[in-house]
Structure 1
Amino acid sequence: MTQTLPRPEAVIFDIGNVLITWQPEQHYDRWIGEDRRRAMFDAVDLHHMNELVDRGGDFREVIYGTAAQYPEFEQEIRWWHDRWLDLATPVIDLSVRSLRALKARGIPVFALSNFGIGSFALSEGRETFLSEFDRRYISGHMAVTKPSPRIYEMVEEDCGIAPEKLLFVDDRAENIAAAEARGWQGHVFKTPEAWVARLTAAGLLDEGAL
């Protein structure tokens, strides 16, 4: 028997690869060529570096400190900070439209994202939709990242909505699994079209609304 899910009372968006494309390797390929990019990413755990920022580390200090440890790639690593707005792009337009359509219908929309304090401030300065959420749960400010159970617990404590009435979209299956383990409804983001279909099936958007 198929279980009928309750209608969500709030929709929670991840940001990277849901609302804003996050594929730094592709940008570095354009800047320095694939061979040098591969060599740099093999030598330096740049995603761990970014994780330290996402946990609340100072944006510039973490990246410049890492760069200083690898003189061969120092300039390129600094670009993670200096060219942040070129890395965190482009916007996924249909996803943003879905967020705004939900808001227009009076459905609360939250952000839950692994994002640094300084890097988020930069992105918010350009991407105005990042200021449109009803509540924002940004890991840098929370000092914990997904998929730690604690970050989901903090969301629940703050918003006061029953877990089974939260619908969360994220591009990483492990982050959705952690949310679902707490009773949340989840959707692993693959395409914005599939996400809009999920919202429509949940009764949150009208067929063909976007």
Structure 2
Amino acid sequence: MQPKAVVFDIGNVLIEWQPERFYDAVIGEDRRRAMFEAVDLHGMNERVDRGEHFADTIYAQAEATPEWRDEIRMWHDRWIEMASPVIDQSVRLMKALQSKGVPVFSLTNFGIESYDFAATYYPFLREFDRDFISGHMRVTKPNPNIYTLLEEGAGLSGADLVFTDDRAENIAAADARGWQTHLFEGPEGWAARLVGLGLLTEMEAA
């Protein structure tokens, strides 16, 4: 069945998101490993993704962990360096779909302020037909409620939707709702899937 809309995750689908890689380059792998063992930085980021204030949450964690204060503040102050670079072919696929009149939605774990900040660097983040951003929705993938909210907001469900995400647990949650899915491991595979669904030609997906 050909879907009626395409749903993109953002981190590691449209924009690379590798905080560990950033810290390895800035403070070295050994110190990065020690910091990530001492501080639940991904849990901190999860709170931002659920709608807590970007700067306030990170700075509070930094003040609560003074031995890593400067490094933790980088999660905010140098955030755009972590959320980079753009995965150019994925962006081309998004635009190719829209040029053919196929609605493209985001479904992303992303904070409110961090998303607005990212959009100043990556204008395509303002070009989705519908945005489903966890910070505004106050729930993150793979919680089933975020998928329900997208269905209700879009007026589509099940096989009407095809969704790509780089995390298997997020894909499994969409599978459970009957969505068509694709585990993103690179833009080439995603392009081939869109061609196979009849949404793009091979030339359009190149």
User: Same fold by TM (over 0.5)?
Assistant: yes
Cα distance per residue 1:39-79 (max 9 Å; x no partner)? 10110010000000000000011100111111111001001
SS at match of 2:199: coil
Which residue in the other structure is 2:88 paired with?
A: 93
Query: Which among 154, 158, 163 is matched to residue 163 of structure 1?
Result: 158
The amino acid of 2:39's aligned partner reads: V
SS at match of 1:208: helix
Which residue in the other structure is 1:132 paired with?
A: 127
Instruction: Say yes or no: does 1:31 pair with 2:26.
Output: yes
Q: Structure 2: which 5+ runs fail to align?
A: none
Give, in whole Å, the separation in 2 of the partners of 1:162 and 1:120.
25
Query: Which among 35, 44, 56 is matched to residue 40 of structure 1?
Result: 35
The amino acid of 1:8's aligned partner reads: P
Which residue in the other structure is 2:110 paired with?
A: 115
Query: Which among 186, 194, 204 is matched to residue 199 of structure 1?
Result: 194
Which residue in the other structure is 2:53 paired with?
A: 58
Runs of at least 4 residues off by over 6 Å: none
Cα distance per residue 1:18-40 (max 9 Å; x no partner)? 00000010011111111111110
Query: Which among 9, 14, 18 is matched to residue 14 of structure 1?
Result: 9
SS at match of 2:203: coil
Instruction: Say yes or no: does 1:103 pair with 2:108.
Output: no
The amino acid of 1:103's aligned partner reads: Q
The amino acid of 1:208's aligned partner reads: M
Q: How far apart are residue 162 of structure 1 and its match?
A: 3.0
Query: Which among 172, 175, 178 is matched to residue 173 of structure 2?
Result: 178
Give, in whole Å, the separation in 1 of the partners of 2:112 and 2:190.
27
Give, in whole Å, the separation in 1 of the partners of 2:9 and 2:161.
13
Residue range with higher mean Cα deviation, 103-112 or 200-209:
200-209
Q: How far apart are residue 94 of structure 1 and its match?
A: 0.4
May I ask how many residue pairs the two structures share in their alignment?
Answer: 205
Give, in whole Å, the separation in 2 of the partners of 1:162 and 1:59.
31
Identity of aligned residues (%): 60
Give, in whole Å, the separation in 1 of the partners of 2:125 and 2:56.
24
Q: Structure 1: which 5+ runs fail to align?
A: 1-5
Give, in whole Å, the separation in 2 of the partners of 1:141 and 1:161.
20
The amino acid of 1:73's aligned partner reads: W
Which residue in the other structure is 1:3 paired with?
A: none
Give, in whole Å, the separation in 2 of the partners of 1:35 and 1:154.
41
SS at match of 1:186: strand
Give, in whole Å, the separation in 2 of the partners of 1:162 and 1:82.
39
CA-atom RMSD, angstroms? 0.6
